């Protein structure tokens, strides 16, 4: 169905072309977007001025056929949408003002209580700035899925990649970030619509080669002087050893440890992440490339990445979500959530914490494992909603 023609009936998007991460975040952060979706109905005079008016006007071109009934309906809806623009803008402003006022009131109340000695002033710990540290791990986004995605899914994916970059940049332990099979509409979007901003992203590589070749290149870089240090959850791993640990379906731990001498001759360690894999990731290992499928498909292509990895003889693993969480919905996550979870793991070494911090609230994820009293009581804090690009709800 015609996507553009369909949009007015849904009243969903303000701008169809610029669905960037920023826009998505902006739209989602509005207090109550539902209230903005009911613009005033279009008055008859207004409708007459709009596209429909031309229906009765003398035809300028002899061949222009009159619009069909459904086209007329669409045009009316489109006109209503246009007419509601100012209303929605005013409503947004109103909501924003009310929010600011509410916050100011709450702050004043708190200050008064503190002044009266009713409550103690909260001690706000100063956030210490710690320089991000490079670790010898690569997150590689396999961007070879152009033909599987609709245009708007490409837009979502570009927003997700932007998120991956900024999350990695601000993480305490920074990984190497690579986009393999860089090309197609995704690349064009970054170059033209997003005005090549990606070229300014430090530490991100864009390679034409496929994920296997790109991972081999990263293997050498991770072993080299710029590879990074074993820090965070990787601290204590033996220097000079590479260990890939995943748990197979048969509940056997598969660990391959390689000595220094063997290391240079060693095959690159690659794990393709897929929720369809029978194996479960236990931990992240140094000198390893973790491949994430760069695709937004709302799960139309189940098993696509899993089969791609198997065909190339690459080991696969799913995140240990089932081991740590009980969830209401399925566990196919977006590219940026998968990356964010692994980044969090690098900081804490705790999958439970990582899932709680990242998995969207609406998935109602709760910790399965009782770790200690306090955490057991805690609610899932999540990181807010990330509708855009979610695979399955």
| Residue 297 binds to ligand SAH (criterion: CB under 6 A) | yes
> Looking only at residues 307 through 346 of this chain, which bind ligand SAH when binding is defined by CB under 6 A?
318-319, 321, 331-333, 335, 338
Minimum distance from residue 304 beta carbon to ligand SAH (Å): 4
Contact 386, 392 (CB under 8 A): no
Q: How far is CA 86 from CA 73, 90, 303, 318, in A?
A: 22, 6, 46, 47
Minimum distance from residue 363 beta carbon to ligand SAH (Å): 11
The 242-247 sheet, strands edge to edge = 253-258, 242-247, 280-281
Q: Which of 204, 305 has the CB closer to ligand SAH? A: 305
Torsion of CA 205, 207, 209, 212, to 10 degrees: 10
3-state secondary structure of 330: coil
Q: Which of 172, 280 has the CB closer to ligand SAH? A: 280
Q: Would you give the binding string for ligand SAH spanning residues 234-273, x where CB under 6 A is met?
A: ---------------------------------------x
From the list 361, 167, 195, 386, the residue with the least C-alpha distance to 296 is 386
Minimum distance from residue 307 beta carbon to ligand SAH (Å): 8
From the list 235, 244, 259, the residue with the least C-alpha distance to 347 is 235
Q: Which helix (H) or strand (E) holds 271?
A: strand 269-273
Residues touching ligand SAH, count (CB under 6 A): 22
Mark the segment that binds ligand SAH (CB under 6 A) among 131-139, 249-257, 302-310, 375-383. 302-310
What is d(CA 241, CA 256) in angstroms, rounded to the nearest whole number? 9
Contact 336, 383 (CB under 8 A): no
Please name the residues in contact with 352: beta carbons below 8 A apart, sequence gap of 6 or more.
Answer: 324, 325, 367, 369, 371, 375
Q: Pick from 169, 229, 283, 302: which binds ligand SAH (CB under 6 A)?
A: 302
388 flagged as catalytic: no
What is d(CA 56, CA 61) in angstroms, rounded to the nearest whole number? 13
Q: Which of 218, 319 has the CB closer to ligand SAH? A: 319
Give the phi and the psi of residue 76 in degrees, each rounded to 5.
-65, -45
Q: Pick from 270, 292, 354, 358: which binds ligand SAH (CB under 6 A)?
A: 292
Q: Which of 11, 301 has the CB closer to ligand SAH? A: 301
Point out the catalytic residue in the list 297, 350, 376, 388.
Answer: 297
Cα of first residue to Cα of last residue in the chain, in angstroms, is 23
Q: Which of 164, 231 has the CB closer to ligand SAH? A: 164
Minimum distance from residue 309 beta carbon to ligand SAH (Å): 9
Contact 320, 205 (CB under 8 A): no
Q: Which of 36, 338 has the CB closer to ligand SAH? A: 338
Minimum distance from residue 293 beta carbon to ligand SAH (Å): 2
Mark the segment that binds ligand SAH (CB under 6 A) among 115-123, 164-172, 189-197, 299-307. 299-307
| Residue 363 binds to ligand SAH (criterion: CB under 6 A) | no
Minimum distance from residue 283 beta carbon to ligand SAH (Å): 14
Q: State both tokens at 315.
A: 């080991």
Q: Which residues are catalytic?
A: 297
Q: Report the interface residues with ligand SAH, using CB under 6 A.
A: 273-275, 292-293, 295, 297, 299, 301-305, 318-319, 321, 331-333, 335, 338, 391
């Amino acid at each position: 169905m015609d996507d553009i023609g369909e949009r007015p009936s849904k009243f969903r998007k303000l701008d169809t072309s610029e669905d960037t991460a920023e826009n998505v975040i902006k739209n989602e952060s509005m207090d109550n977007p539902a209230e903005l979706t009911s613009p005033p109905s279009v008055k008859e005079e207004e409708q007459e001025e709009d596209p429909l008016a031309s229906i009765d006007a003398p035809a300028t071109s002899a061949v222009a056929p009159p619009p069909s009934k459904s086209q007329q309906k669409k045009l009316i809806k489109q006109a209503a949408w246009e007419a509601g623009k100012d209303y929605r803008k005013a409503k947004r402003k109103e909501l924003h003002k009310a929010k600011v006022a509410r916050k100011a009131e709450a702050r004043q109340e708190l200050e008064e209580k503190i002044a009266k000695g009713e409550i103690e002033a909260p001690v706000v710990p100063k956030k210490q700035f710690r320089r991000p540290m490079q670790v010898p791990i690569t997150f590689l986004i396999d961007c070879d899925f152009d033909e599987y995605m609709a245009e708007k899914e490409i837009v979502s994916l570009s927003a997700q990649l932007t998120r991956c970059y900024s999350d990695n940049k601000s993480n305490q332990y920074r990984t190497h970030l690579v986009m393999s099979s860089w090309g197609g509409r995704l690349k064009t979007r970054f170059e033209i619509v997003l005005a090549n901003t990606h070229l300014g992203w430090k530490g991100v590589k864009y390679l034409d080669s496929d994920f296997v070749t790109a991972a081999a290149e990263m293997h050498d870089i991770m072993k080299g002087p710029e590879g990074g240090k074993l820090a965070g959850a990787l601290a204590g791993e033996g220097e000079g050893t590479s260990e890939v640990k995943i748990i197979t379906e048969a509940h056997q731990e598969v660990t391959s440890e390689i000595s220094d001498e063997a290391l240079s001759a060693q095959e690159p360690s690659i794990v393709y992440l897929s929720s369809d894999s029978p194996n479960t990731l236990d931990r992240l290992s140094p000198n390893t490339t973790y491949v994430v499928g760069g695709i937004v498909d709302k799960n139309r292509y189940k098993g696509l990445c899993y089969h791609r990895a198997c065909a190339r003889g690459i080991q696969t693993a799913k995140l240990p979500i089932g081991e740590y969480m009980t969830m209401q919905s399925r566990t196919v996550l977006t590219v940026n959530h998968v990356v964010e979870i692994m980044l969090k793991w690098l900081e804490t070494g705790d999958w439970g914490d990582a899932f709680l911090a990242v998995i969207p609230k609406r998935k109602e994820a709760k910790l399965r494992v009782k770790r200690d009293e306090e955490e057991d009581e805690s609610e899932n804090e999540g990181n807010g909603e990330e509708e855009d690009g979610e695979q399955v709800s």
